[in-house]
Chains A and B, each alone.
Chain A
Amino acid sequence: MALSSRSGVNGLPLKGEVRGAGGCHHGGVDLGRAWLGLAYLMLGAALFVAFGLLTLGLMSPLLAPDERLPPPVVVTLGAVLGLALVLVVGAIPVVRRIEGVAVEGMLGVDFGGPGPGSADRWSDRLRSVAWLWAHMLAGSIFVGCAVTVPSLGLEASGWLVIPGFVLTIAAGLLLAAAVRRAAPALLGPSAHERIVALEREARELGERNRIAREIHDSVGHALSLVGVQAAAAGRVFATDPAFAAEALTSIEEAARRASAELDHALGVLRAEKVEGAERGRGPDLSDLPDLVAATSRAGLGTTLENRLSPADEAALSPVVARELYRLAQEGLANAIRHGAAPCHVLVDRADREVRLEISNALGGSPGTLRGPRRGGRGLPGMAARAGAIGGTASAGPADGEWVVRVSLPWVGAR
C-alpha cells in the first residue's frame, strides 16, 4: 500500500538549491531580491566593523605609544585575535540558525526541509564559523568598494562617480551571488542531519506500514468471518433458519466494526498527512469533536463530554493537547475492539492533571474482532506515549464496561 511518495529525504534536496528569485527563473533580475542581497552584505560589513572595534579595544594596551612592537607583528596579532573572536562567536550553536534564517530570507536559498538548525555538532559549528568569516569578508569588500570606488571616480572626473556607483552595485550583486552559492555547503544539512532526517522518515514509514498491516489484519479477519458465516447461512437457509438469522447478525456486527476500524485507521493516516503538510501543527484537543463525529459516522455511536473550560483549553500546552488527541484516537480504536457501541469520551481537569476516559459497554459479542495478534497491541503503545510526557494510560473492564483511562500532567502553554 503506497501511502506517500515524496522526493528526496524528507524534502531535503541532495544539495541545497538556490530558489529562483521570487520565481524569476528566466534570468530576469528581481529588484527586491537584489537589494536584499546587498543588505545581507551590509550586515556582514556591520559585523566586520563590530568585531574590528572589539579587536582594537582588546589590543589597546599593545597600541599605546610607549609600546614598541613592529607594525607587522601588531597587524598579525590583530588579525589572529579578530579571527579568533569570530570563531568563538560563530561556534555558538544558535548562530547557525540565525544565519540560516537570514540566508533563506535575504538570499533566497532553499535548504529544503526545515532549514539549518542549531549547530549541535562541532563539524557544523566550524562550518558556521567559516560561513561567518565568508559573510563578513564579502560584506566588508562590498562596503569597502562602496566607500572607495565612487569617490575615486569623483576625484578623477566629476561624471565618473556614476560608473563608480554602477560598478559598486555590480560588485555587490556578484558578491551576493557568490555567497549564495557557498551557502548550501557551509550552512546546508550535514551528513548527520541527513541521517537523522532519514531515520525520522523511516520511522514515519514504519508507522504507516504498521497501520496498513493493522487495516489488513482487522478487515481481512472480519471479511473472512463474514464469508464463512454467509456461506454457512446460505447452505442451511431452509433447514436451519435460526442459524441463518444468527449468522446474519454476526455478519452485520462484523461488517460494522470492520468499517469503524477502517474509518479510524484512515483517519489516523489523514491526520498524519495534514501534520506533515503543516509542520509542527498536528491535530489537538480542538480536533476531538471531529474525531468523535467520524467514529460515530462509522457506526459506533460516540459522545464527547469535554469538561475543560475554554480558558483551560487555551492554556494547555500544545504538546499535551496533541498527545491527548492521539491518545483519544488510540483509545477509541481500543474501545472499538473490546466493547460495543456507544462510546463515551470524557475529558476533564483535576488539579495538576488532565484526564481522558473512554468507556463503552462490554456487551454485544465481546471480542468479535479480537484476533490473536490484536491482544491489546495498542495499549503498550498508549502507555509509552503517555509515559513519555510523564502520564499514564491503562485499559480494562470495570463494572461491565470497557474503560480506557489516560492521565497526563497539566502543563501550561508557557
Chain B
Amino acid sequence: MTTRVVLVDDEPLIRRGLAVLLAAEPDLEVVGAAGDGAEAVALVRQVDPDVVLMDVRMPRVDGIAATRTITAALDPPAVVVLTTFENDDHVYDALLAGARGFVLKRATAEELLTAVRLAREPDTLLFPTRLRDLVASQRRPVRPASDLQRLSEREADVLRRMARGLSNAEIAAELVVGVETVKTHVGSVLAKLGVRDRTQAVVRAFESGFVSPTE
C-alpha cells in the first residue's frame, strides 16, 4: 500500500527537491504539489492524499489556516508541518490547528521519510522530543482546562506517557496492562478532551500545564 503525499511549499526548489526525494521511495507517491495554502486546500479536496507535507509560512493563505481547513474535513489526511525554524510560533499554531506533527526542512532524508510514513499511524507521536522542545520554547500563558480534571487516574497516567512519546505497546508494558486496555484508555482520553488524535491530546496536556514540557 503506497502512501499518497501532497507537498505544499511556496519555494519551487524545495517542492522539487522533496518530490524527487519522496518519489525515489517505492512506498511513497507524490500525487500533487501546491505553492500556497489556498492551492493546497483545493488540491487536497481533489486528490484526497494520505499525508500533506505543509510549509507554515507562505504568502496569501499560510500553512496554519490551510491546516485548519484541511483537518476540519471528514476523514482528513494527516498534515505534517514543514518548517525552516525549530521552535517557531507558527509551527505551534499549526499544531493547535490540527497538524499531526512537524519536521524540520533541515532534517535528514531518513527523518523526513520517517515523518511521512509515521504520520499515518494514529498511535504514534511524531518526534516527541522536538514537540516537547517546541512547547517549552513557547512563552504562552498556561491555559488550565477543566476537561483534564475529568480524566480518571489511569487515563491521566496514560496521557502523561503519551506526552513522553511512548507508543501504546510501551505504555502497556510500563503500566503492566494489555495493549487493548491502553487503546481503550487512549480512546477515552481523546473523547474526554474532545480532540481528534494523539498529537492534539499531547499538545492540550502541555498547553494546560497538565504535563510540563521540561519534566
Contact = CB atoms under 8 A, between A and B. Distances in A.
Given A223-B106, A224-B105, A371-B11, A232 B85 contact: no
B20 interface: yes
Interface in B1-20: 10-11, 13-14, 16-20
A190 interface: no
Contacts of A234: 109
A63 B16 CA distance: 100
Interface string A144-188: 000000000000000000000000000000000000000000000
Interface in B84-132: 84-85, 104-106, 108-109, 112
Interface centre among A232, A235, A236 (most CB of B within 10 A): A232
A372 B57 contact: yes
A228 B105 contact: yes
B65 interface: no
B58 interface: yes
Nearest to A247: B17
A240 B23 CA distance: 11
Contacts of B17: 225, 228-229, 231-233, 247
A232 B21 CA distance: 5
B105 A227 contact: yes
B209 interface: no
Interface residues of B, number: 23
A218 to B, nearest CB: 10
Interface residues of A, number: 27
Interface in A282-328: none
B14 A372 contact: no
A45 B151 CA distance: 86
A235 B21 contact: yes
Interface string A8-27: 00000000000000000000
A228 B85 contact: no
Contacts of B24: 232, 235-236, 239
B57 A243 contact: no
A228 B59 contact: no
Given A229-B17, A235-B21, A247-B17, A372 B58 contact: yes
Nearest to B85: A220
Contacts of B18: 228, 232
Given A232-B20, A235-B21, A247-B17, A224 B106 contact: yes
Contacts of A225: 11, 13-14, 17, 105
18 contacts: A220-B85, A223-B106, A224-B14, A224-B105, A225-B11, A225-B17, A225-B105, A227-B105, A231-B109, A232-B18, A232-B21, A234-B109, A235-B24, A240-B20, A250-B13, A365-B13, A368-B13, A372-B59
Given A225-B13, A235-B21, A375-B59, 4 more contacts: A220-B84, A225-B105, A231-B109, A239-B24
